[in-house]
Structure 1
């Protein structure tokens, strides 16, 4: 009986292989793969075709070359001494394309290029690379081979590696129907173990709708139109609370990733207006709070969002009508002429300062000296303790102070490190004319030790510490500060020297 069962099983497997190796079927599947790849992955992510056999691998390569540039795909498989003529012919072509390399080296070269360069964009495999292969840029697996259990789980893991915060999960396109029988395919595993490994389109649709609903709940009571004051109202709702701001950012990113994964699904059409409105809010938020548009590098991973949403009339109008006002000596003048609404002016100035002083504080000693004032301003925006006129006026005062401090640094001819030390001393000891000369003396003394990497070199760091400690002792004696104040001043000065010396 056992021999009979094994014979029948072998016959069924052989029939399946013959079907999956059929050149006509392979050409049909390859055309679909090429179409999907060009529309969804090209220029962003990469793909892998899992064929039923080595013969099928070669045939898929031939077929894909009819629909895509030959450089787009490569086969990764082993070769035998006595292969079929079809496989042997491909081996000869391969060694001709990679002269001076043996077959193992050719395989390694293809894999390295797939991971690190633009091409190849698609790998064609049957057994190789289904385990242990780590290439986060791999996003879609075109499954044309029956796999189940542990082998299927391992294959799925190849495409599920997160990538650059633009890919949370991969996509399996099943051309053999194995995923229709999930329960059977994973019969040896607990259902809970596989739930987070593999999800079908139904669960993706549910996640898309849920994310839309959760995001819209943030803006309850705000009309879904594109009026500038409506957008401003939504922006205020987001930025009044830091947790809510993080929630909006993270959920919109998740929503956009699901939107890209869903492809041409009806649920996208059903919720398109809501998604477009949320995208408009995100575009407005980027311009106002983050003070920039999304980079081309990030945008290229969301081509469907760009094509159908960001290039819509409403969102393009926001991008055009709300320009990012770069901070320079003409910032206030440009802000007055380009932004008409007082509320937007206040938001612009508050979040320009937030970005400059709080986020990029270590770029300038001037920013560090104004951290407390800017934190109070941002807090007043979030808690609504001041009206827009007050917020705008105080923001202007801080910007004028930045300009004034910058002009003074130029007049003194101080480096960032020297100016950082001077600003700390003036904050702690008051404005005294002689302090500038004292700072120059300290700078001259420690400059020979401020070599590249000095912060991590014990001997150099110790010499700087000794000089700064001696400097602070002299200040204690001259200005009568306490031991406790002396220690705090020393810590601040060392921190500024480390942060702003060019060699640190």
Structure 2
């Protein structure tokens, strides 16, 4: 609201030099006040163009909306006209504006044109709260209404051009502070009036400890962003910034990956809030660089997850996507999962033996993590074998790579299926076989050594045959007799099947007593629990 001219007093005296001092004072009181300046059409047109530019760059890319708070109803109409006048030129498309204010029967025609009934206002607010893809109503223009008690998370920015103080000021700020999905990193208040001069005064009537910090200036957010940037960049100090293998190795330990992920999200979140006006090319390049590392790390350590930047805002997302695509990264930074036809060629395309071995190790671990609930005994055994290989080849990457390749070929790709085929079991039956066999071979840990020695003759073929018998009959009963639709979610149905499983195992008590002795009932209960846990995975529905 700067006045054009070197001195308002000089301009005033020149314009009214023929008036008396009393007449000059009367003119000042009536016309030379702040509201008159605020409502000046030339000023409103300039502010409206600035609003459209800010909205286009900061708010619209993420799909959020805006509220404009004016000093008077007359100013509301002037803003409405100015926004529509420049909308297409600045935004590039025709977005909608609506005015909501209280009307009077004595209003001039240009005000009556924007009168709305309560029902019409409800429809306007309903449309405003929709996504920008569903409704192009992006600007609400108000004087007093909708500053308090109005809940619209999709509103991210409030353009203030009227005086607000104390409760009204803080409640207006709160309007843009409502969370709305991952894309809304902050709310913005753009002050054209000088309202923020009253912020400290507004805060003085509240307990600051309870209130917290209602608003940050863009300058202080910029300083925070620099701090977040330093935190994430510091993790790679001393590492060649062009060596992706070395960079990824820095965050190989799980605690380091968590630390990196937290630092990364804070950094890109702050950049998202500041873009585009406060973010230099250097900072944008750092966002691209750490995002590249993050993408490579996800492939290395969590290959079952696709590259996902949905947790970034649209402005940062566009920056990252463009960079990854232009650098040809999408071609190879895709999840490398163990059973792909080209797994070996993808792995071998990485730069070093260490990188290849590391990728193989994490690909194996991810398969085990995904499948361990389906066959806990078998995959726990595989994990123990993997750990032994890793321990024995700790400092020899070439040997580790060779051993892991052999492990994948022998144990991972064919192991479970070949063992099931060898026993003439389906993979589902094999999972239960392994569980039953483990319990049988555990026997009764509390029995004497003499009893244990007597039981040794049963551990071998007898164990295998009984485990096969139980797992096959269990599978047949579940599919043909016991299954009840929805049993895993319904406690009553679950109990019915649990009772059937228990009675089925009790029917095998004579045989089981050879393994468990006097502790047979407790062991049957243990076996029932293990089998029910597996059944919830394998027989949730008959198609699974």
TM-score exceeds 0.5:
yes
- 1:330, 1:294 → 2: CA distance? 20
Structure 2's unaligned 5+ residue stretches are 1-25, 442-462
**Residue deviations 1:341-369 (CA, integer Å, cap 9, x gap):** 222222222333344432x457x725884
Match of 1:60 among 62, 75, 79: 79
- 2:108, 2:384 → 1: CA distance? 73
Q: Find out whether 1:489 has 2:489 as its counterpart.
A: no
Kindly tell me: are residues 313 and 464 of structure 1, through their superposed partners in 2, closer, same or farther at Cα, counting changes over 3 Å? Answer: closer
Kindly tell me: are residues 368 and 469 of structure 1, through their superposed partners in 2, closer, same or farther at Cα, counting changes over 3 Å? Answer: same
**What is the deviation of 1:260?**
1.5
Q: In structure 1, the residue corresponding to 2:60 is in which secondary structure?
A: coil
| Residue in structure 2 matched with residue 397 of structure 1 by the alignment | 407
| Residue in structure 2 matched with residue 87 of structure 1 by the alignment | 111
Match of 2:475 among 443, 451, 471: 443
Asked if the contact 2:420–2:430 (Cα under 8 Å) also holds between the matched residues in 1, the reply is: no
**Residue deviations 1:51-75 (CA, integer Å, cap 9, x gap):** 2244444443433334147763343
- 2:345, 2:146 → 1: CA distance? 56
| Residue in structure 1 matched with residue 297 of structure 2 by the alignment | 285
Asked if the contact 1:146–1:178 (Cα under 8 Å) also holds between the matched residues in 2, the reply is: yes
| Residue in structure 2 matched with residue 243 of structure 1 by the alignment | 255
Aligned pairs for 1:61-460 (under 5 A) are 61-65=80-84, 66-67=86-87, 68=91, 72-75=95-98, 77-80=100-103, 82=105, 83-91=107-115, 102-114=119-131, 117=134, 119-192=136-209, 195-223=212-240, 225-227=241-243, 231-240=244-253, 242-264=254-276, 268-269=280-281, 271=283, 274-291=286-303, 292=305, 294-295=307-308, 297-298=310-311, 301-304=313-316, 306-307=318-319, 311-312=322-323, 316-320=327-331, 322-358=333-369, 360-361=370-371, 365-366=374-375, 369-371=378-380, 373-374=382-383, 385=394, 387-389=396-398, 391-392=400-401, 393-394=403-404, 397-398=407-408, 400-405=410-415, 407=417, 414=426, 418=429, 420-429=431-440, 432-433=464-465, 435-436=467-468, 438-447=470-479, 450-460=483-493
TM-score, normalised to structure 2's length? 0.74
- 2:75, 2:51 → 1: CA distance? 15
**What is the deviation of 1:312?**
4.5
Asked if the contact 1:465–1:494 (Cα under 8 Å) also holds between the matched residues in 2, the reply is: yes
Asked if the contact 1:380–1:386 (Cα under 8 Å) also holds between the matched residues in 2, the reply is: no
**Residue deviations 1:282-307 (CA, integer Å, cap 9, x gap):** 232233223355436445x2424643
| Residue in structure 2 matched with residue 45 of structure 1 by the alignment | 63
Asked if the contact 1:424–1:492 (Cα under 8 Å) also holds between the matched residues in 2, the reply is: yes
**What is the deviation of 1:455?**
2.4
**What is the deviation of 1:150?**
1.9
Kindly tell me: are residues 319 and 72 of structure 1, through their superposed partners in 2, closer, same or farther at Cα, counting changes over 3 Å? Answer: same
Q: In structure 1, the residue corresponding to 2:184 is in which secondary structure?
A: coil
Structure 1's unaligned 5+ residue stretches are 1-7, 96-100
Q: In structure 2, the residue corresponding to 1:239 is in which secondary structure?
A: coil
Asked if the contact 1:50–1:125 (Cα under 8 Å) also holds between the matched residues in 2, the reply is: yes
Q: In structure 2, the residue corresponding to 1:365 is in which secondary structure?
A: coil
**What is the deviation of 1:269?**
4.4
Kindly tell me: are residues 372 and 439 of structure 1, through their superposed partners in 2, closer, same or farther at Cα, counting changes over 3 Å? Answer: closer
**Residue deviations 1:108-145 (CA, integer Å, cap 9, x gap):** 53244259945434433443433344444433322233
**What is the deviation of 1:39?**
2.2
Size of the aligned set, in residue pairs, is: 478
398-407 vs 42-51, which moves further:
398-407
Asked if the contact 2:61–2:315 (Cα under 8 Å) also holds between the matched residues in 1, the reply is: no
Match of 2:53 among 2, 26, 35: 35
Kindly tell me: are residues 444 and 324 of structure 1, through their superposed partners in 2, closer, same or farther at Cα, counting changes over 3 Å? Answer: closer
**What is the deviation of 1:410?**
9.0
Q: In structure 2, the residue corresponding to 1:113 is in which secondary structure?
A: coil
**What is the deviation of 1:176?**
1.7
- 1:374, 1:41 → 2: CA distance? 49
Asked if the contact 1:283–1:315 (Cα under 8 Å) also holds between the matched residues in 2, the reply is: no
- 2:390, 2:169 → 1: CA distance? 52
- 2:508, 2:478 → 1: CA distance? 17
Larger radius of gyration: 2
TM-score, normalised to structure 1's length? 0.79
Q: In structure 2, the residue corresponding to 1:330 is in which secondary structure?
A: coil
